[in-house]
Amino acid sequence: MYKAVVFFDLDGTLFDNDKQVTPASIKAIAQLKANNILPVIATGRSLFEITDTLAQAGIDSCVCADGSYIQVAGRPLKTEYLKTADITAITEYAQKANLAVSYYNPNGFVVSHENKLVRANYHELKERITVAPEAYLTTKVNMLFVFSQETDKQDDVYRKQFDGTFSFYRNNWRGLDVVKYGVSKRSGIEYLLNHTDLENVPTYGFGDFYNDLPMFDVVKTPIAMGNAVPEMKAKAAWVTTSNMDDGIVNGLKHYNLI
């Protein structure tokens, strides 16, 4: 039985600003494991995006795609797929405003169409763009990314239009992560804990952005990065230093986990 479980968001948290896990954080994770503490990645990213990171950090368990894909000890535990009809409905709604949609599963992604916003997003993520607007009709999808700039204030519009069908999480200023209604980092973490007999083990979570708020609702000790948005800091049991200033190491040391 593990002594504790620690959940790590990636972007702005375990990642530095160059999307890398620092040597200090890798060493800290190794110390966690030596102390019989389970490290788990909890991210909005899909599995295919973090395979190298998992290997580099020595972590084989994750709650990915905002809770819609769960893996433990390198093996899939649960995937929450979306209904084809629901994907069609939101795609058609987005295209009324000429907004692109990306379709994700644990193995990869495609986009409905390409434009300046799409190119900018995937250039930053260092991902190759494949346009395949009808691929979701024959391939299972567990997460979408609807391009909608934060300044467009479309978040509430989408939540109202698709209430009871999808849950939406602001991923970055370019768009919204979209998963099955009720799915979140919280639901994914709860499922992982309940199906691995870890529900009574102390839990910790590191995060920085809005899609980490559900994680903070479920872990016993939420820890916000120094670079976190104010809403995260307000919910945190403690605020560590930033992702560029050994925030992971300092947070783990603060709670005597390493």
Q: 88 and 64 share a domain?
A: no
Domain final position from 149, 180, 211: 180
Alpha-carbon distance of 171 to 72, in angstroms, equals 24
- The reply to whether 75 and 89 lie within a common domain is no
Domain that holds residue 112: 84-180
Please indicate, yes or no, whether residues 75 and 192 belong to a single structural domain of this protein: yes
Indicate whether 106 and 160 sit together in one domain. yes
**Final residue before a domain boundary, out of 180, 202, 218:** 180
Domain of residue 31, CATH code: 3.40.50.1000
Residues 70 and 194 in one domain: yes
Q: Which of 156, 180, 204 is the last residue of a domain?
A: 180
- CATH (domain of 97): 3.30.1240.10
The string of pLDDT tens digits covering residues 178-194 is 999 999 999 999 999 99
Is 202 in the same domain as 239?
yes
User: DSSP secondary structure string, the chain?
Assistant: --SEEEEE-IIIIIB-TTS-B-HHHHHHHHHHHHTTEEEEEE-SS-HHHHHHHHHHHT---EEEGGGTEEEETTEEEEE-PPPHHHHHHHHHHHHTTT--EEEEETTEEEES---HHHHHHHHHHT----B-TTGGGTS--SEEEEE--GGG--HHHHHHHTTTTEEEEEEETTEEEEEETT-SHHHHHHHHHHTTT-TTS-EEEEE-SGGGHHHHTTSSEEEE-TT--HHHHHH-SEE---TTTTHHHHHHHHTT--
Query: Do 75 and 189 lie in a common domain?
Result: yes
Would you state the pLDDT for residue 153?
A: 73
- Assess whether 176 and 102 both reside in one domain: yes
Looking at the fold, whether 245 and 163 belong to one and the same domain comes out as no
* Per-residue pLDDT of the chain in tens (258 residues, 90 and over written 9): 899 999 999 999 999 999 999 999 999 999 999 999 999 999 999 999 999 999 999 999 999 999 999 999 999 999 999 999 999 999 999 999 899 999 999 999 999 999 999 999 999 888 999 999 999 999 999 999 999 887 667 788 899 999 999 999 988 889 999 999 999 999 999 999 999 999 999 999 999 999 899 999 999 999 999 999 999 999 999 999 999 999 999 999 999 999
CB contact burial 84-119 (16+ within 10 A = b; e otherwise): eebbeebbebbeeeebbbbbbbbebbbbbeeeeebe
Residues 132 and 150 in one domain: yes
> How many separate domains does the chain show?
2
Same domain, 230 and 204: yes
Say yes or no: 43 and 96 in one domain: no
User: Which of 148, 153, 112 is CA-nearest to residue 131?
Assistant: 112
